Amino acid sequence: MLEHITLMLALLGVLSLLCQWLGWALRLPAILPLLLCGLLLGPGIGFLNPDALLGDLLFPIISLGVAIILFEGALTLNFKEIKNHGAMVTRLVTLGTLITWLCISVATRYLFDFSWPLAILFGALVVVTGPTVIVPLLRSVRPKKELASILRWEGIVIDPIGALLAVLVFEFMAVASTPATHVLQALAYMLVLGFGLGAFAGYAVGRLLNSRLLPHYLRNTAVLTIMLAVFVGSNTIQEESGLLSVTVMGIWLANMRGVDIDDIIEFKETLTVLLISALFILLAARLDSAALLSLGWEGLALLAVVMLIARPISIWCCGYNTGLSAPDKWFLSWVAPRGIVAAAVSSLFAIKLEAQGIANANLIVPLVFLIIIGTVVIQSLTAGLWAKTLGIKTGSPQGLLIFGASAFSRALAKVLISKNITVILADNNYDNIKRARMDDIPIYFGNPTSEHAELQIDLSQIGRVLIMSPYRQLNPLVNFHYQDILGADKVFGLNNVDPNNKQARHQFSESYLQRLRLFGDAVSYSKLATLMAKGAIIKSTQINENYSYADFRASYGDSALPLLYIENEKVRIITADNGDNIPAQVELISLLPSEAQQPIKAPAATA
């Protein structure tokens, strides 16, 4: 028996990893392979029975998993970021959430004869979209930059808000279902404990992180352990208050001044793959196929309300007087796939409500999974065609993500931004990021290969990645990471490998070394840094029939370094392979060392 349990748990880990990889390879939300895997192994062939496998441990595992999901989601709810992303995002996560909640609750009440509290709980569960389903969809559809930003930030922010609403409604139901308690008094105790303990724990952890009492390698472990202790302790003092406590704790940490939680948020990446993915397979395997099929036309009608009524009403009400066009609003009206938060939280609540004898509680999980499957599958398959039909799909993106925010990168970014080219600078060096921010250059501070970066960096307008940092250990990781996302021919790096160090060259494959030819074979980070320190500048020059590339060379000599050119609004990167093959009608961006800044002869036409 023990060997069987060990085998099944190991298999869950392997399948979780495989489903995550499959989602990445197919450019689909990972939730789809996870769903299909769980449904196949559980109700499909009956191979995986979570209740029989884990027994009494199933409920604690789901409880702790949901607590982690809510806490990590709450860590992303920074109120400043809501204000920084426009009126539309702010309205969507406030007014839009209320409209969606109301529409779905009313529809559920009358389609399935739910009690009002249960219908309101279900409505709160499925208002969330989530970045894990939105980001892969946007990457494949590539809508206009403004629309991609709205959808991405809505997914990030609404996760903890929707979960908090669901927790509050559930706690009201839990209290109301106990005849021996006074509803308002018990609910007040629960809210005071949840908000009070959560705020205190968030503040205490924030102070702990800012102190020197913890070594850096214990930060993530300490925060996770304390969070679980708060969850269990809160539930011990007042039953069902733990989820509220950890959600408030995460929100407090996210908005506490001077607390760096970026590395803690990145820790979610490992948890998602190892814990949340396995949990999602278990939840899907528990699904009763007969209950799912029994939803009948009412289930399809509810899905139609979610997709065709609630979402469009929300978008058009929130989009009033925001400058969004009608096609913009129609596209936003169609894209709102539901994610893993709804599935995990609903499964936990359903178990508790069924134990309390709440009528129709057994339909909560099948309904939530129906909404998830319907929205993810239908919208993933049709969003691209819908965007193309509405005319809001961008062409080939021309923007640049530059890893390394050195003086050279900042100077290049400023020139490109002046030409209406999207540029994002990413760096681990805070001083470089601070200088870039002062120059009004879009930035990302941290590791650009992390899951946090995947959620924060808007790649919808990024077509190429330039790796121009001094970090020899991280550069290859960034290179391979973005080759997987954008393609091998879209990632370029400087040649920072010492040609005399044979051992260093043997550490990399020849295919990787071939990508290190940005701006030329002999151009390295140290060379560019040296030239900038000696007064080099970046200049834009019009190359045309009156002033050819040969004239440019004659004017500035061989020390001028061409970097890239813009041809018919398309950015072309110069490498060792195409260094002197400059077309006749382009705008050339080049680096001029101090000795080349006085033209040898006056150019015929420059810009």
3-state percent breakdown (helix, strand, coil) of the chain, nearest 5? 65, 10, 25
pLDDT of residue 607: 46
Task: For residue 572, give the H/E element and its range.
Answer: strand 570-573
pLDDT at position 316 over 90: yes
Tokens found for residue 193 = 């404990």
pLDDT at position 455 over 80: no
pLDDT at position 550 over 70: yes
Find the mean pLDDT for residues 583-597.
85
- Rounded CA gap, 367 and 121, in Å? 12
Q: Sign (positive/negative) of CA torsion 512, 514, 520, 521?
A: positive
Find the mean pLDDT for residues 99-112.
94
Angle between helices 326-334 and 311-318 (to 10 degrees): 140
400 near 472, Cβ under 8 Å?
A: no
66 near 345, Cβ under 8 Å?
A: yes
Q: What is the mean pLDDT of the chain?
A: 82
Contacts 24+ apart (CB under 8 A), 509-514: 512/476, 512/479, 512/480
pLDDT at position 85 over 60: no
Find the mean pLDDT for residues 11-18.
87
Tokens found for residue 464 = 């190429």
CA distances from 370 to 133, 284, 311 (A): 15, 11, 17
Band of residue 560 on the pLDDT scale cut at 50, 70, 90: confident
Return the higher-pLDDT residue of 122 and 347: 122
- Rounded CA gap, 264 and 224, in Å? 9
414 near 439, Cβ under 8 Å?
A: yes
Find the mean pLDDT for residues 285-306.
87
Write phi, then psi, for 335 (nearest 5 degrees): -110, 105
Find the mean pLDDT for residues 296-325.
92
Q: Is the pTM of this model over 0.75?
A: no
pLDDT at position 199 over 70: yes
pLDDT of residue 505: 47
pLDDT of residue 80: 67
Band of residue 510 on the pLDDT scale cut at 50, 70, 90: low
